Structure 1
Amino acid sequence: MIVSAPPVLTVYFDGACSLCAAEIRLYRRSEGAERIAWVDVGTDGPEDREPGDLGPGLTRDAARVRFHVRRPGGDLISGAAGFAALWAVLPRWRLLARLAALPGVTALGEIAYRLFLPLRPWIARVVPVRGARCDKACG
């Protein structure tokens, strides 16, 4: 009997957003990605998912408008800190995680991320990503 190890992180992403889906595809192709549970909360994901299915403190709507990861102990992290946690698990991205760990860098990343969020729907509509489009989930 083969027993698989529990995921080191659970990543919640909006697969209905072409921009988000393209970024997640990049991460999923990385070494170490098999140790991560990837949960698509977009409209192309399971429609019957109940809010509580995402664990405590996270609704589907919240997961669709902001990047979230959950650590095995249940800690929920979002935004720039969530990306830093993801990068720390993926060997090719660890340099970014180390940079994010420097004093003030994650805080600056969070400011940049919050500035990006209102632009996400526009960017997803304007920047072609393999013929995909962003539905109203991105905004």
Structure 2
Amino acid sequence: MITVFYDGKCGLCSKEINYYKTIANPKKFTWLDVANNPNHLKSIDVTLSDALMQLHVLDNENNIHVGVDAFIIIWSNLKFWRILSFIVGLPIIKQIANLLYKKFAERRFAKLPHCQLSLDR
């Protein structure tokens, strides 16, 4: 089972995750909203701030994947998205994707009040 830890208070994040839920095999994924239930993070020893900053995925072998690597795990297990996981996984493209995602994640985190509040915990 692949476990996805996502920010359920982020409109864009929720919209994307809800789309994935509609196309994903329910036997392959567990979707955990850490913004509304931070206790989900206890099992993987990740801070709420880190989880809100970037998407986290726990794979079948209990390895944690963060950011673009997390998306690659999700996409590689979704029909019609596997090709994107392959393309984004290519070395140069992955470097660029990591840079872009990091910038996006930092800006999103800075703008959302619940993300800023997580720094106080």
Category of TM-score, reference length = shorter chain? 0.7 to 0.9
Q: Does 1:20 align with 2:13?
A: yes
Aligned partner of 2:78 in structure 1 is: 90
Matches within 5 A, 1:49-68: 49=39, 51-53=41-43, 55-56=44-45, 58-68=46-56
Mapped partners of 1:108, 1:102: distance in 2: 10
Partner Cα distance (1:46, 1:101) in 2: 31
Q: Distance in 2 between matches of 1:66 and 1:19?
A: 13
Q: In 2, Cα distance between the equivalents of 1:70 and 1:99?
A: 21
- TM-score, with normalisation over the residues of structure 2? 0.82
Q: Is the 8 A contact 2:3 2:59 kept in 1?
A: yes
Indicate if the aligned counterparts of 1:30 and 1:92 stay in contact, CA closer than 8 A. no
> How many pairs were matched up?
116
Asked if 2 retains the 8 angstrom alpha-carbon contact of 1:11 and 1:70, the reply is: yes
The separation in 2 between residues aligned to 1:91 and 1:50, in whole angstroms, is 27
Structure 1, gaps ≥5 residues long: 1-6, 126-134
**Structure 2 spans left out of the alignment, 5+ residues:** 117-121
The RMSD of aligned alpha carbons is: 2.2
- Which fold has the larger relative contact order, with Cα–Cα distance below 8 Å and residues 6 or more apart in sequence? 1
Letter of the aligned partner of 1:111 in structure 2?
L
Residue type of the partner of 1:18?
G
* C-alpha deviation, 1:102, in angstroms: 1.9
Q: Cα deviations across residues 45-71 of structure 1 (Å, max 9, x unaligned)?
A: 236x17523x24x12221111111111
How does the TM-score come out when normalised to structure 1? 0.73
Larger radius of gyration: 1
Aligned to 2:113: 136
Q: Which residue of 1 aligns with 2:99?
A: 111
- Greater fraction of residues in helix: 2
> 2:34 corresponds to which residue?
41
Contact in 1 for aligned 2:34/2:41 (Cα 8 Å): no
Q: Which of 82, 99, 108 in structure 1 is aligned with 2:87?
A: 99
Residue identity opposite 1:14 in structure 2: D
1:29 corresponds, among 19, 22, 25, to 22
Paired position in structure 1 for 2:66: 78
Structure 1 runs (4+) deviating above 6 angstroms are none
